[in-house]
Amino acid sequence: MSTVSTEAAAVGLPGARGVLPADGALEKTPLETYVPPAQPSLIGLSRAQISEQFAAIGVASAQRRMRVQQLWHWMYVRGARTFGEMTSVSKDMRAELEKRVTVDRPEVVAEQISNDGTRKWLLRLPSGNNLEKPHEVECVYIPETDRGTLCVSSQVGCTLNCSFCHTGTQRLVRNLTAGEIVGQIMVARDRLNDWPSPPGEEKTHRLVTNIVMMGMGEPLYNFDAVRDALLIVADNEGIGISKRRITLSTSGVVPNIVRTGEEIGVMLAISLHAVRDELRNELVPLNRKYPIAELMQACRDYPAASNARRITFEYVMLKGVNDSLEDAKLLVKLLKGIHAKINLIPFNPWPGTRYECSDWDQIEKFSEYIFNAGYSSPVRTPRGRDILAACGQLKSETEKLSARERQALRAMAMTD
Ligand code: SAH
Ligand code: SF4
């Protein structure tokens, strides 16, 4: 019975708390807010917040800055998983810290390795009061010859409801905290053995070199946590991944694109997917709030966009929907004056979708047109399809079940 009421809350059935958008609404409200554990993790906290922990255990204010630096180094340069490893911190201080806080990362509940080397981790996150079962998000590591990219999630579910995206059909459970976002990078580096070894000796090459905020969720609807997390990831005295190697993908939350430029300064990717408002309203309903012209203006204004720092426009190839040569022409027109590259993504199908992937020769024709117009237009090779790790497939296997449950519940609600 409790499962039924929980699921009812999640799908907006009678008695639910408005979790799925009402007809025509663009945004879902989160089902929960994060409830911190009694002993929180220091991962994802700012230096000022860590300093408060030192204050609480009686460290004199003149010493705190140096202590924070020590901890920061142990956590983010060496990847220490316990206070016990932090040998440059006095034993007493470690014992005091241990009573109050941890350096825990999200718990890994499953690891899958694709036959193309892609790895996917299923992470368990604590749930708050509303749901009994813990939440899960996925993060994916994609090795390539010259880089290793980690695809990171920002929400459990998504605020938005793009019609071709499986995550969009799911409920928004909650926003991730900065710690849970940085935690995904920590977990990946733990599992890949990507910390300096022996301790203190930096490896000649790192495995996780690039970060893309392209997992589950709309990062710009969880702005503060995403900003705090990415600033930690880019911090030179810690993980130190350059902002040029971090890409934030958004479906077009215009006011927060401006803030991304001002407050984060990472590379930008825009999930465009259509060049006419009428079609984009259908594929990316947020377009009704921030139409194409406004979105393009935000891109033109994005600070530091240049030939070396081009904005990526993602374009999912949907058969007979957005893949004509007329669309390609309009796309080129639309991007005039913007330092842009275009990333064509073959549509990854999921159970129950009404869309199909464009035929390969159509994708090639589309790509060729754009290339001849002077834009780089690589077609994104789907990676990790065998472990459901490709774009838009995250958590689909787990969610298939709840989709069936949802259908059953809807049917029940109708016969009530
Ligand atoms: N919410 C953000 C980031 C996550 S999605 C955004 O929308 O930009 C990462 C990319 O995968 C987006 O461009 C998204 O539109 C695309 N995508 C979603 N579902 C897909 C599917 N089924 N097949 C291919 N790409 C998909
Ligand atoms: Fe959310 Fe992005 Fe999927 Fe749209 S494409 S529903 S914004 S995850």
What is the CATH classification number for the domain harbouring 211?
A: 3.20.20.70
314 lines ligand 1 (CB under 6 A): yes
Query: Same domain, yes or no, for 249 and 342?
Result: yes
Residues above pLDDT 90, as percent of the chain: 73
Residue 79 domain-assigned?
yes
Q: Average pLDDT, stretch 50-68?
A: 95
Cβ pair 217, 159 in contact under 8 A: yes
Q: Name the band, by pLDDT with cuts 50, 70 and 90, for residue 381.
A: confident
Residue 372 domain-assigned?
yes
pLDDT given for residue 138 in this prediction = 92
- Catalytic residue positions, numbered: 138, 391
Tens of pLDDT, residues 197-207: 765 566 668 99
Cβ pair 163, 3 in contact under 8 A: no
Ligand 2 centroid – CA 156 distance (Å): 12
> Among 65, 83, 100, which residue terminates a domain?
100
Query: Same domain, yes or no, for 397 and 262?
Result: yes
Query: Same domain, yes or no, for 209 and 89?
Result: no
Residues of the domain holding 64 = 47-100
Residue 177 domain-assigned?
yes
Query: Same domain, yes or no, for 338 and 295?
Result: yes
pLDDT given for residue 198 in this prediction = 66
Query: Which of 159, 223, 314, 317 maximizes ligand 1 atoms within 8 Å of its Cβ, making it the mutation to test the pocket?
Result: 314
Q: Name the band, by pLDDT with cuts 50, 70 and 90, for residue 22.
A: low
Amino acid at 167: T
pLDDT given for residue 341 in this prediction = 94
Cβ pair 247, 270 in contact under 8 A: no
172 lines ligand 1 (CB under 6 A): no
Token output for 99: 């009573």
Residue 1 domain-assigned?
no
Residue 247 domain-assigned?
yes
222 lines ligand 2 (CB under 6 A): no
Instruction: Please say if the pLDDT value at position 151 is more than 50.
Output: yes
Say which CATH number the domain at 93 has: 1.10.150
Whose atoms come closest to the Cα of 249: which ligand? 1
pLDDT given for residue 18 in this prediction = 33
382 lines ligand 2 (CB under 6 A): no
Query: Same domain, yes or no, for 14 and 57?
Result: no
pLDDT given for residue 8 in this prediction = 27
Token output for 162: 């793009």
Whose atoms come closest to the Cα of 168: which ligand? 2
Whose atoms come closest to the Cα of 170: which ligand? 2
When mean pLDDT is compared across 79-88, 189-198, 284-293, the lowest value belongs to: 189-198
Ligand 1, atom 24, lies closest to the CA of 347
164 lines ligand 1 (CB under 6 A): yes
- Residue 161 CA, closest ligand 2 atom number: 6
Ligand 1 centroid – CA 58 distance (Å): 48
Terminal CA-CA length for the chain: 16
pLDDT given for residue 130 in this prediction = 54
Ligand 1 centroid – CA 379 distance (Å): 14
Q: Average pLDDT, stretch 209-225?
A: 97
Query: Same domain, yes or no, for 295 and 227?
Result: yes
79/148 Cα distance (integer angstroms) = 18
Tens of pLDDT, residues 242-300: 999 999 999 999 999 999 999 999 999 999 999 999 999 999 999 999 999 999 999 99
Range from 123-137, 274-288, 399-413 that averages highest in pLDDT: 274-288
Residue count of the chain, please give it.
416
Whose atoms come closest to the Cα of 316: which ligand? 1
327/331 Cα distance (integer angstroms) = 6
Query: Same domain, yes or no, for 65 and 196?
Result: no
Query: Same domain, yes or no, for 184 and 283?
Result: yes
Ligand 2 centroid – CA 94 distance (Å): 42
pLDDT given for residue 134 in this prediction = 79
Ligand 1 centroid – CA 245 distance (Å): 19
Q: What is the mean pLDDT of the chain?
A: 86
Query: Which of 272, 316, 379 maximizes ligand 1 atoms within 8 Å of its Cβ, making it the mutation to test the pocket?
Result: 316
pLDDT given for residue 24 in this prediction = 61
Residue 318 domain-assigned?
yes
Q: Average pLDDT, stretch 372-389?
A: 80
Instruction: Please say if the pLDDT value at position 19 is more than 60.
Output: no
Instruction: Please say if the pLDDT value at position 74 is more than 90.
Output: yes
pLDDT given for residue 204 in this prediction = 67
Q: Average pLDDT, stretch 221-238?
A: 98
pLDDT given for residue 263 in this prediction = 96
Instruction: Please say if the pLDDT value at position 32 is more than 90.
Output: no
Ligand 1, atom 1, lies closest to the CA of 218
Residue 314 domain-assigned?
yes
317 lines ligand 2 (CB under 6 A): no
> Among 58, 75, 100, which residue terminates a domain?
100
168 lines ligand 2 (CB under 6 A): yes
Query: Same domain, yes or no, for 33 and 71?
Result: no
> Among 85, 100, 115, which residue terminates a domain?
100
335/311 Cα distance (integer angstroms) = 10
Q: Average pLDDT, stretch 104-108?
A: 96
Query: Same domain, yes or no, for 153 and 59?
Result: no
The total number of structural domains in the chain stands at: 2
413/221 Cα distance (integer angstroms) = 31
Ordered alpha helix ranges (H), 26-166: 47-56, 61-76, 91-100
Instruction: Please say if the pLDDT value at position 148 is more than 80.
Output: yes
Tens of pLDDT, residues 297-320: 999 999 876 777 899 999 999 999
Query: Same domain, yes or no, for 72 and 167?
Result: no
pLDDT given for residue 380 in this prediction = 80
Query: Same domain, yes or no, for 270 and 337?
Result: yes
Token output for 74: 């142990």
158 lines ligand 2 (CB under 6 A): yes
Residue 295 domain-assigned?
yes
